[in-house]
Structure 1
Amino acid sequence: MSSTTPLDPSVGEGEGQLRRVLGVPSLVLFGLVYMVPLTVFTTYGIVTEISGGRLSVSYLVTLAAMLFTARSYARMAAAHPVAGSAYAYSQKAFGAPIGFLAGWSLLLDYLFLPMLNYLVIGIYLNAAIPAIPPWVFVLLSIAVVTVLNIVGIVSVARANMLIIALQAVFIVTFLVLAMVTVSGSGTVDLLAPLTGDGSATGMGPILAGAAILCLSFLGFDAVSTLSEEAKDPRRSVPRAIMIATLVSGVIFFVLSYVGQLVFPSNDFADVDSGSLDVMTTAGGQFLNIFFTAAYVAGATGSAITSQASVARILYAMGRDGILPRHVFGHVSPRFSTPVYAILVVSVISLAALVIDLTLLASVVSFGALVAFSAVNLTVIKHYFVDLRERSGGAVVNNLVLPLIGFGLTVWLWFSLSGLTLVIGLCWLAIGFVWLLGVTRGFSRPTPVLDLEEAPVQPADR
Structure 2
Amino acid sequence: MSGQTTSARLKGDLSLFSVILFGLAYISPGVVITMFGVIASTSGGAASTAFAVATVAMLLTGLSYAKMARAVPGSGSVYTYARKMLDSRIGFLSGWAMLLDYFFIPMVGWLITAIYFNAQFPDVPKWVWLIISVAITTGINVFGMKLADRVNKVLMLVAVGSLVLFATLCVVFLGRHGTSAPVGDAVWNSHTSVSAVTAAAAIAAYSFLGFDAVSTLGEEAEGGAKTVGRGIIGCVAAAGAIFIALSFVMQLVHPGGEFKDVDAAAYHLKVQVGGETYAEIINFVTIAGSIASCIALQASAARLMYVMGRDGVLPKPVFGKLSQKTGTPIIGLLLTAVAGVLAMKLDLTTATSFINFGAFLGFAVVNISVIAHLVRERKQGRHHNLFSYLVMPLAGTAVSVYLLTKLGDTALTIGAVWLVIGIVYLAFLTRGFRRPAPEMTFDDEAEEPAEETATATC
Q: TM-score range by the shorter chain?
A: 0.7 to 0.9
Is 1:173 paired with 2:169? no
Is 1:345 paired with 2:357? no
* TM-superposed deviation, 1:236: 4.3
Aligned pairs for 1:192-341 within 5 A: 192=184, 194-196=186-188, 198-225=189-216, 227=218, 233-311=224-302, 313-314=304-305, 317-318=308-309, 320-324=311-315, 340=328
- C-alpha distance 242-298 of structure 1, shift in aligned 2 (>3 A): farther
CA distance in 2, matches of 1:453, 1:118: 27
* TM-superposed deviation, 1:128: 2.7
- Alignment correspondent of 1:372: 363
CA distance in 2, matches of 1:323, 1:239: 34
CA distance in 2, matches of 1:26, 1:243: 11
* TM-superposed deviation, 1:432: 1.3
- Alignment correspondent of 1:110: 102
- C-alpha distance 74-183 of structure 1, shift in aligned 2 (>3 A): same
| Kept in 1: contact 2:70–2:225 (CA 8 A) | yes
CA distance in 2, matches of 1:306, 1:55: 26
* TM-superposed deviation, 1:376: 0.6
- C-alpha distance 127-232 of structure 1, shift in aligned 2 (>3 A): same
- Alignment correspondent of 2:134: 138
Which residue among 27, 31, 47 is the counterpart of 1:35? 27
CA distance in 1, matches of 2:55, 2:170: 24
Further displaced range: 317-326 or 51-60: 317-326
- Alignment correspondent of 1:121: 113
* TM-superposed deviation, 1:78: 2.8
CA distance in 2, matches of 1:208, 1:265: 16
Further displaced range: 438-447 or 127-136: 127-136
Which residue among 414, 436, 441 is the counterpart of 1:423? 414
CA distance in 2, matches of 1:111, 1:313: 9
Q: Give the TM-score normalised by the residue count of structure 1.
A: 0.81
Which residue among 86, 92, 96 is the counterpart of 1:94? 86
CA distance in 2, matches of 1:278, 1:330: 46
* TM-superposed deviation, 1:346: 1.3
| Kept in 2: contact 1:269–1:277 (CA 8 A) | no
- C-alpha distance 260-430 of structure 1, shift in aligned 2 (>3 A): same
What one-letter code is carried by the residue in structure 1 that aligns with 2:67?
R
Q: Give the TM-score normalised by the residue count of structure 2.
A: 0.82
Aligned pairs for 1:152-163 within 5 A: 156=149, 158-163=150-155
* TM-superposed deviation, 1:307: 3.8
- C-alpha distance 324-76 of structure 1, shift in aligned 2 (>3 A): farther
CA distance in 2, matches of 1:276, 1:39: 13
* TM-superposed deviation, 1:296: 2.5
* TM-superposed deviation, 1:58: 1.6
Cα offsets for 1:142-174 (capped at 9, x unmatched) = 22245554x39xx73x54442331122112211
- Alignment correspondent of 1:387: 377
Further displaced range: 384-393 or 54-63: 384-393
Secondary structure (helix, strand or coil) at the match of 1:42 reads helix
* TM-superposed deviation, 1:439: 1.9
- Alignment correspondent of 1:4: none
CA distance in 2, matches of 1:277, 1:67: 32
| Kept in 2: contact 1:8–1:454 (CA 8 A) | yes
CA distance in 1, matches of 2:249, 2:295: 29
- Alignment correspondent of 2:77: 85
CA distance in 2, matches of 1:267, 1:452: 46
| Kept in 2: contact 1:52–1:205 (CA 8 A) | yes
- Alignment correspondent of 1:59: 51
Across the aligned residues of Structure 1 and Structure 2, the Cα RMSD in angstroms comes to: 3.8
Cα offsets for 1:184-223 (capped at 9, x unmatched) = 1258878335444x44145443323222212211221233
